[in-house]
């Protein structure tokens, strides 16, 4: 999932906020680094989430993109550097948003939902994505961060 500074090309799955940030979703099976490069080629960065309305917008886009497919993991700009330790007391568990500029450094506690707790470590860099599971009929998709 990319956060773009300008609207993408036509035929791309995209949702934009009134404030101007646009999110695009791309189905592929790349590594975190490859996903980051793909967003950069689109003049964007891996997406970040700083509020519940932003999360709902992104979840809607990802659910539309992944419709009919099994549970999916979408790379977002969530990373823990090798020098940072897992912190179970924080919503992002020691992970932070990468991407510079306007990327928020913190996320509201309500958005700290993890599918599975990340490994406790202070030794290796780790990435996390947004895990999306199928929605119940008439409901919203089940989601959480996943290392």
pLDDT digit string, tens, across residues 47-79: 888 888 888 888 888 888 887 676 788 999 999
Higher pLDDT among residues 147 and 139, named by residue = 147
pLDDT digit string, tens, across residues 99-119: 654 445 556 777 889 999 999
Structure tokens at 110: 């309500």
Helix H, strand E, coil C: the string for the chain is CEEECCCCCCCCCEEECCCCCEEECCCCCCCHHHHHHHHHHCCEEECCCCCHHHHHHHHHHHHHHCCCCCCEEEEEEEEECCCCCCCCCCCCCCCEECCCCCCCCCCCHHHCCECCCCCCCCCCCEEEEEEEECCCCCCCCEEEEEC
How much is the pLDDT for 109?
75
pLDDT digit string, tens, across residues 8-30: 554 557 888 877 778 888 888 78
Question: Does residue 94 contact residue 125 with C-beta atoms inside 8 Å?
Answer: no
| Domains in the chain with CATH codes | 12-100+110-146 (3.10.100)
How much is the pLDDT for 146?
93
How much is the pLDDT for 103?
47
Model confidence at 5, in pLDDT bands (50, 70, 90)?
Answer: low
How much is the pLDDT for 14?
84
């Amino acid at each position: 999932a990319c956060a773009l500074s300008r609207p993408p090309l036509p035929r791309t799955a995209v949702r934009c906020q009134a404030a101007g940030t646009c999110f695009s979703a791309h189905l592929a099976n790349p590594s975190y680094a490859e996903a980051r490069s793909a967003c950069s080629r689109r003049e964007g960065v891996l997406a970040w989430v700083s509020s519940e309305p932003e999360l709902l917008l992104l979840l809607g886009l990802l659910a539309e993109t992944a419709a009919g497919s099994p549970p999916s993991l979408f790379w977002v700009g969530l990373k823990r550097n090798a020098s940072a330790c897992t912190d179970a007391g924080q919503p992002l568990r020691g992970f932070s948003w990468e991407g510079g500029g306007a990327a928020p450094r913190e996320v509201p506690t309500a958005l700290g939902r993890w599918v599975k707790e990340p490994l406790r470590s202070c030794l290796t860099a780790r990435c996390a994505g947004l895990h999306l599971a199928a929605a119940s009929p008439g409901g919203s998709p089940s989601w959480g961060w996943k290392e």
